[in-house]
Amino acid sequence: MTQFLCAYPWLQLSTESEESLRVCCYGESGKVVLDNNKTVKLSSLKDPNDFLNNSFYKDIRKSMLNNEIPSFCKGCEKLELNGGESPRTIMNNVYKDKLSESLRLTREDGYLESPKVNILELTLGNVCNLKCRMCSPFFSNLLKSDFNKLNISYDEKAVFEIESSFKDIETLKETISKLDSLELLSFLGGEPLIHPLHLDILKHLVETKKSNSIELRYNSNLVTLDKRVTEIWKEFKKVKLSVSLEASGSLNDYIRYPSSFEEVSKNINSLINLRNNGVPLDLSITSVFQAYSVPGTIDFLKWLSQYKDDFPIIPHFIYLDFPHYLSAEVLPQSIKVQLAREINDFVNSNKADLLSGKFKMENEKNLNILLHFLEMYIDKGKEQFFMDFTVFTKKLDKIRDVEGFFERYPDLFGGQIERS
């Protein structure tokens, strides 16, 4: 493997629970930034640029320069070893020039001359309007009641802390004002578009005349689209929004409960209109590849194909590993093989169409990831957890009083459920 460098420890500040800093939102345990063994709050930083030379960041950069992979980066390493792209490879590509310039300014001990925070990643909290089946109370406050009803434990302290984030908007605005080289502001949630602070921050950036040099990024379920938000986006350099969506029609509303596919489709069309009328907006789709979504993949791709001139119609797929009982790997082998064959047949018969148009390259890349995941989920079976999947699914269907997952696909699951 070539040197394992990542742009984030050179260019980014990122927040999680109670505004405490972490290296990035993807890393596994060990990514929380410590100063004298204590967590550090974004709003406490006197000089946020200079903080990139805190010993924690210096040590990470030194390790990477010595080709040692920090323990919290194992997730990225795994994605790359599995043939996919990782947040590291994606960001290194976007910030290629900035990273090489920063490397030139980095000493052997990891010290960075003239540190500049170019990227700010804000997890605003866990306020959400959905209770997606594969999510947790840490990301959606609404899921707490379902977890309690199902007796599923979660880290209540971490949830309390994330709910306590960013109470002091004035100090946050002051800190953001000190980021004179900010180019990318990424909002994470919860659902960032409905968080009350989100609009306040955008207004502040417009008032301080920084907005036109800043790109905004979101992952959003797009159930709600506020006109005040789309209006203010016109003041920014660019807006990149990835819609989190795994399926079309009622399967989407089932997975991303209680989403409205009709509303999401309407909002996607509104965004395309805005983009066609000069709002600097890039759209894409991010999909969590999981047990619930695989049976709906063909319908989803058919629905997406109407947008081939508007955005990449093959979603950027993310492989769900946790919770383990919702991984696509838990499905019985015969079902996995059948679904993989059907999806592969559909792709092969429609390849020219799926890959045509101006997003050919992105579609090709994303399609390769999907096909790779279809191989992976067969190879790495976790069928021993199909019973856990069944129990969780039936219990959640019951408390939500929705049409059951297995009843949606009687031909596929009939025999399996009778046997389980």
84: contact with ligand SF4 by CB under 6 A: no
Phi, psi of 105 (to 5 degrees): -95, 10
Question: Is 17 in contact with 155 (CB distance < 8 Å)?
Answer: no
Q: How many residues bind ligand SF4 (CB under 6 A)?
A: 14
Q: Which of residues 24-83 bind ligand SF4 (CB under 6 A)?
A: 24, 26-27, 72-73, 75-76
Rounded CA-CA distance 244/222 in Å is 8
Question: Closer CB to ligand SF4, residue 75 or residue 381?
Answer: 75
Taking alpha carbons only, the member of 337, 373, 379, 371 closest to residue 351 is 371
Pick the piece of the chain touching ligand SF4 (CB under 6 A) from 4-12, 133-141, 250-258, 301-309: 4-12
Site string for ligand SF4, 5-24 (x = CB under 6 A): -x-xx-------------xx
Minimum Å gap between C-beta 32 and ligand SF4 is: 12
User: How near is the Cβ of 55 to ligand SF4 at its closest, in Å?
Assistant: 17
Q: Which of the ranges 85-93, 180-188, 282-290, 375-383 carries the binding residues for ligand SF4, by CB under 6 A? A: 85-93
Give 26 or 51: the residue with its C-beta nearer to ligand SF4: 26
Question: Cα separation of 391 and 357, whole Å?
Answer: 43
Binding of ligand SF4 by 88 (CB under 6 A): yes
**C-beta closer to ligand SF4: residue 6 or 326:** 6
Cis check for the bond before 190: say yes or no (omega within 30 of 0). yes
- Specify the residue, 77 or 235, whose C-beta has the smaller distance to ligand SF4: 77
Q: Which is nearer to ligand SF4, 33 or 354 (CB)?
A: 33
Q: How many CB atoms within 10 Å of residue 283?
A: 18
Q: Which one, of 242, 345, 335, lies nearest residue 292 by Cα?
A: 335
Residue 87 engages ligand SF4 in binding (rule: CB under 6 A): yes
CB of 66 to ligand SF4, least distance (A): 15
**Can you tell me the distance from the alpha carbon of 126 to that of 35, in angstroms, rounded to the nearest whole number?**
26
Q: Which residues inside 261-320 make contact with ligand SF4, applying CB under 6 A? A: none
Coil, helix or strand at residue 186: strand
Within positions 185 to 244, which residues make up the interface with ligand SF4, using CB under 6 A?
Answer: none
How long is the chain? 420
Which amino acid is it at 305?
S
CA distance 332 to 334: 6
Q: Which is nearer to ligand SF4, 86 or 165 (CB)?
A: 86
Q: CB of 263: closest distance to ligand SF4 in angstroms? A: 32
Min CB(88)–ligand SF4 separation in Å: 4
Pull the structure tokens for residue 54.
Answer: 């805190």
CA 299-304-306 angle, 5° bins: 115
Local structure of 416: helix, strand or coil = helix
Would you state the structure tokens that stand for residue 183, as one six-digit string? 């180019």
Chain residues that interact with ligand SF4, rule: CB under 6 A: 6, 8-9, 23-24, 26-27, 72-73, 75-76, 86-88
